Amino acid sequence: MLRLQNTYGKRIEIFNPWNEFLVNMYVCGPTVYDYTHIGHARTFVVFDAIRRYLSLKGYNVTYVQNITDIDDKIINRAKETNSDWKDIANIYSKDYLDNLNRLNIKIDLHPRVTHHISEIIDFIQGLIDKGYAYVAQSGSVYFSVDKYPNYGRLSNNFNKAYWNQGEGIVSEKKNPYDFALWKSYKEGEPYWDSPWGKGRPGWHIECSVMSSRYLGNKIDIHGGGSDLIFPHHENEIAQSESYFGTSPWVKYWLHTSMLTIKGEKMSKSIGNIISLNDAISTWGNNILRLWLLSSHYRAIIEYSEQSLNQAKRLFERLNTISQDVVKRLKKEDYTIYMRNEDIESFSNLRELLLKWYESMDNDFNMSEAIRYVWDLTDIYYKKIQNSESYALISFTYKVLQEMNKVYGVLDDVLSKEFYVEKNLTPELIDLILEVRKQLRENKMYDLADQIRLKLSSMGIKVIDKGNKSDYLL
């Protein structure tokens, strides 16, 4: 039974989505004004693994992760580099998407802010009509925080003295902690027409609009980095629950903790930012992915050569074992009989897989789960490597496959269907078996046996049942 620690209330809850079988998940994506760094990668890889595990548990998951392609940071970068803001957004969006592909991250929808301006305007107008937002003299629109009574519950920050978000022109706000939904036009900045004049969206409104557009007004899981809890996610809750008139808007809030280097948080002011491109070039995408999934998502993770070398060693062991298992399953001869040692190893694997599931069910405890991956490699080298039991080797393959559905680092080895490697389609295999059946009917057993052995060497196990034949891959 899957249990989550909900950021909202800091409590452990049994996972129970709005719909019994369908899960929707929204994760805040990047503001594309610079190259993606390993801190971003930590969040993106973790939520990809969460999505993968939910799918493994039988849920049908829709995963949305936005791209913020208009923002103060993008505009400022364009001014600094004397570039068009659209070019800045396009360059770094491509970097982000390319790196997602390199890290084997699968996301269903990637909405962009600039593609949803009309929906954002409609949402803001709805908040104004309901009395939760007001238009300032400049044409900017602000959310009136005092109108929403539950403000501060996500961050557990109820002291108004600490709510000051310092954006825009404070003097035109009713309160310093009110936040911008729409920012009025300034000379030289991009703009869109609206009922309140020329301008562009505030940062927080975009996620409320895009998440609800594609997932509805009730979201199962909303995620992001812990740095987004306040003010971004706090503001999302306020404006969304006010607009939809429902609470909770999000059932489970999950946040990844920070990534540190030599004990310090990555920061441009310190100059310790490591780009994802550089990290992948140094370590490779699979090792980096495995390392990012070796710690609990809520725990601080330290970028160090020692920890990455450990991930490298684990990946090399897993890759070698997977190749060995696939190769052995293609052997012509194998043993159906299981020795006592084989039965014991089979039992060890079952227990190991069960504990791995229990760890992942415990708030996606990846730091504990990875220990059982190490245990799998130990069991293989000590007990399974020299076994001739087809059942044991085949079960090892199954365990590797299940774990890899979350880790996603062995696809090149494990996802290949044996018959595809030899250009054999199911239809062609059926035709070969029909020819073999006719050979057996004509008592040409030698030729029939040669076909069986050849198919076996290609990983296709032929099973004869009377005058009929079937096969297993």
SS3 track for 258-311: CEEECCEECCCCCCCCCEHHHHHHHHCHHHHHHHHCCCCCCCCEECCHHHHHHH
What is the longest distance spanned by two Cα atoms in the chain? 97
Segment holding 95, helix H or strand E = helix 85-102
pLDDT digits (tens, 9 = 90+) for 9-60: 889 999 999 998 899 999 999 999 999 999 999 999 999 999 999 999 999 9
Q: What is the pLDDT of residue 459?
A: 64
Closest CA to 376 of 407, 345, 415: 345
84-94 average pLDDT score: 97
Query: The tokens 């548990």 sit on which residue?
Result: 57
Whether the CB-CB separation of 180 and 166 falls below 8 Å is answered with no
pLDDT of 221 above 80: yes
Whether the CB-CB separation of 362 and 48 falls below 8 Å is answered with no
What is the reported pTM? 0.87
To the nearest whole number, what is the mean pLDDT of the chain?
91
Please enumerate in sequence order all residues whose Cβ is within 8 A of that of 382, keeping only pairs 6 or more positions apart, or say none. Answer: none
SS3 track for 425-441: CHHHHHHHHHHHHHHHH
pLDDT digits (tens, 9 = 90+) for 166-214: 665 678 899 999 999 999 999 999 999 999 999 999 999 999 999 999 9
Q: What is the pLDDT of residue 421?
A: 46
DSSP 374-428: HHHHHHIIIIITT--BHHHHHHHHHHHHHHHHHH---HHHHS--HHHHTT--HHH
Buried b (16+ CB within 10 A) or exposed e, 342-362: beebbebbeebbeebbebbbb
Closest CA to 98 of 290, 259, 277, 287: 277
Q: What is the pLDDT of residue 461?
A: 72
Q: What is the pLDDT of residue 416?
A: 55
Please enumerate in sequence order all residues whose Cβ is within 8 A of that of 144, keeping only pairs 6 or more positions apart, or say none. Answer: 131, 132, 133, 134, 174, 175, 178
The strands making up 250-256's β-sheet, listed across from edge to edge, are 60-65, 22-27, 219-225, 250-256
Higher pLDDT, 436 or 113: 113
Whether the CB-CB separation of 43 and 256 falls below 8 Å is answered with yes
Residue 379 to residues 187, 329, 389, 396, Cα–Cα distance (Å):
67, 18, 15, 10
Task: Return the percentage of the chain with pLDDT > 90, whole number.
Answer: 75
Q: Helix 117-129 vs helix 203-215: angle between axes, to the nearest 10 degrees?
A: 100
How is residue 121 written in tokens? 């305007």
Segment holding 461, helix H or strand E = strand 461-465
Most confident of 99-108, 259-268, 323-332: 99-108
pLDDT of 367 above 90: yes
257-268 average pLDDT score: 86
Backbone angles phi, psi at 135, to 5 degrees: -95, 125
